[in-house]
Structure 1
Amino acid sequence: MMPSYLAFLRGINVGGKHKLPMQELIAILESLGCTNVKTYIQSGNAAFDCKQRNRGKLAAEITAAIEANKGFAPLVLLLEQHQLEAIVAANPFPAAQDDPKSLHFFFLTAPAKKPDLAALEKLTAADESFLLAGNLFYLHAPSGIGRSKLAEKVDRHLGVATTARNWRTVSKMLELAGK
């Protein structure tokens, strides 16, 4: 059985830069042997099956194919369906699920070796909460991520690149992966 993957691309279709229509992303993924490709909204979310079992190699192939086709190389973070299911099950802020735009999942590209959690604590608004757990940074920001000083500094203080999605997007991606 082929693994079911979820791809989260960073920085595409934002502010008119790095345009990648989802139909083109589907074609790129299919050209790499991916099947059952489905996308969600225009911010670079895809669910698909692929016989390639090496996630790092597949992510690199996707990045290279996008660069060859579009002239830019986005960060591509891949998870298997069971990994995203575990991340959702471990959500430390289950009450926040009722407000899908307030709960955010920052997917780390690598473990944070020396995260500056004290600096992040100083940036945390009174109504915000966060937890770093492995390769995931959970953020509950009831006043919105757009106003969060913490959200804009996560990468800097973790020392690793991330890509973030809200609860609604993560839930929808699991739904797509479940086919």
Structure 2
Amino acid sequence: MTTYLAFLRAINLGAKRKFPKDDIVAAVEGLGWTDVRTHINTGNVRFDCPLRSRAKVEAALEQAFAERAGFEVPTIVLTPAELREVAERAEAFGHDGAHYVSFLKQEPSPEVVRRVEELSSAEAVAKVGGRAVHLMLDTAYHQTRLGNATVEKHLGVATNRNLTVVRTLVEKWC
């Protein structure tokens, strides 16, 4: 069995995208996967499963979530080691302002990384490392032009967590 961490995109936003933790757990357990745990109601899930392919894990979860929730739930899967690496990279940046991480389905090409990082400004800096984009902000998240929507425009499906959640998940699950 391999342990994975799944990050669900765009759930529990507004009235039409409700997907409670208990339903998430039921969907994952319905796949026959074990040791399922969640953290807060924003789509953070830890589980063990026999699959070795991240793409197959994501596809199975997305199908199970769509059937259970009644809408598509893009899902990004990391190993505990990958999440730990994301947190370590964040610490190395040493940013004192708001810090968010957008997790990506695919690792971007160097050219796309360059384009995204060039969007940085004095108030908002993007640094890409593997399948994670670190957004370090000196302004409010909802006031910056360099947020998850911009990341998705250039890098495809992504889901965003603040660094506090990332650190907590590393402590709990890694």
Instruction: Please report the TM-score for the alignment, with normalisation by the length of structure 2.
Output: 0.87
Q: Which residues in structure 2 correspond to 1:1-179 (within 5 Å)?
A: 2-91=1-90, 94-96=93-95, 102-113=98-109, 114-115=111-112, 117-118=114-115, 121-122=118-119, 124-151=120-147, 152-156=149-153, 158-178=154-174
Q: Matched residues, percent identical?
A: 28
Q: Count how many residue pairs are aligned between Structure 1 and Structure 2.
A: 172
Secondary structure of the 1:38 match is strand
Q: Distance in 2 between matches of 1:115 and 1:166?
A: 23
- Post-superposition shift, 1:167? 0.6
Contact 1:52 1:58 in 2 (8 A): yes
What residue ranges of structure 1 are gaps of 5+ in the alignment?
none
Q: Deviations over 1:101-142 (max 9, x none)?
A: x111111111224427457635x4423222112222111113
8 Å contact from structure 1 (residues 93, 140) kept in 2: no
Counterpart secondary structure, 1:149: coil
Question: 1:118–1:64: structure 2 CA closer, same or farther, 3 Å change rule?
Answer: closer
- Deviation digits for residues 64-111 of structure 1, max 9, x if unmatched? 111122221211101111111112222265423x65xx1111111112
**Contact 2:87-2:170 at 8 Å conserved across structures:** no
Normalized against structure 1, the TM-score is what? Answer: 0.85
